[in-house]
Structures are given as structure tokens and as C-alpha cells.
Amino acid sequence: MLGLPGELNQVFLNIVVNAAYAIAAKLGAASREKGTIRISTRAAPPWLEVRIADSGTGIPEAARDHVFNPFFTTKPVGKGTGQGLAISRTVIVEEHSGTLGFETELDRGTTFVIRLPLSQGAGQEEGTP
């Protein structure tokens, strides 16, 4: 797999930070409960698949079509810029010819699914999953 490590690290960090925020929003500041963030990888030729799952709030239905838009955020004013997922999408889709999507369920959590080609040009002939 070819890639830009610094930019990929920023994508993973953006998604993990959002996951932590979603867990805190679900549990509340005073809660002693802990949430879960699970990161898994697998080869699914022609892709490398990375899944980042959380046990947070899930993404509200009204926000699902907008989460990758620049400046869109569900966080309170001063808590987010709305740039993290927009930048992540650019890095994965435009710079790495991959895919970025999510699976979500309200009050159960969200899983972001990142697919990166295992080799240059991989996945293009088979379309995006």
C-alpha cells in the first residue's frame, strides 16, 4: 500500500477524537462509565480496510448527509470547527483513491470504515464498495 503517513495519521486522529466526543456526549461529564473505541484492520483485496468504532451517541439522521461537508459540526459552538471529517474525506478519497463511509445507530455508536487501495490503481477497476 502506498500512502502519506502523516496525513493518514491525521485522519485516524480526527475520527478517534470524534469518537471520544460522541462517547462523552452520551455518558455525560459526571459519569464514571467508560465508553469503547475499537480499531480493527483487515486485508480485503484490493483494499486495506480500517474500522474505527465507538459506543457513543451515533450520528443523528438529519446530520448523516452532511458529516463530510466543510464547516458542518454537531458540536456546540467553540467545541469543533467542522473541518476534521471534511479533511479526512479529502485525504482518503482524493489523495489516496480510497473510500470513507460510516455505519451508525442512534444511542449505540458509529463505525467509520476507511478503505485504502493495497496497490496503486487497485480497486479502481472494481469500483468503490
CATH number of the domain within which 111 lies: 3.30.565.10
Please check whether residue 123 lies inside any domain of the structure: no
Please check whether residue 125 lies inside any domain of the structure: no
The angle formed by the CA atoms of residues 22, 62 and 68, to the nearest 5 degrees, is 65
Please check whether residue 17 lies inside any domain of the structure: yes
Taking the complete model, does pTM exceed 0.75, yes or no?
A: yes
Please check whether residue 12 lies inside any domain of the structure: yes
Q: Which residues of the chain have pLDDT under 70?
A: 1-2, 76-78, 121-129
Please check whether residue 33 lies inside any domain of the structure: no
Quick: pLDDT tens for 52-87.
999 999 999 999 999 999 987 777 666 777 789 999
Check residue 121 and give its pLDDT.
Answer: 67
Please check whether residue 38 lies inside any domain of the structure: no
Please check whether residue 101 lies inside any domain of the structure: yes
Look at phi and psi of residue 61 and say left if phi exceeds 0, alpha if psi is from -120 to 50, else beta.
Answer: alpha
CA-CA distance, 127 to 62, in Å (whole number)?
Answer: 28
CA-CA distance, 74 to 16, in Å (whole number)?
Answer: 16
CA-CA distance, 64 to 113, in Å (whole number)?
Answer: 14
Contact by Cβ (8 Å): 14, 74? no
Q: Find the domain containing 72 and state its range.
A: 5-27+47-117
Domain count, the chain: 1
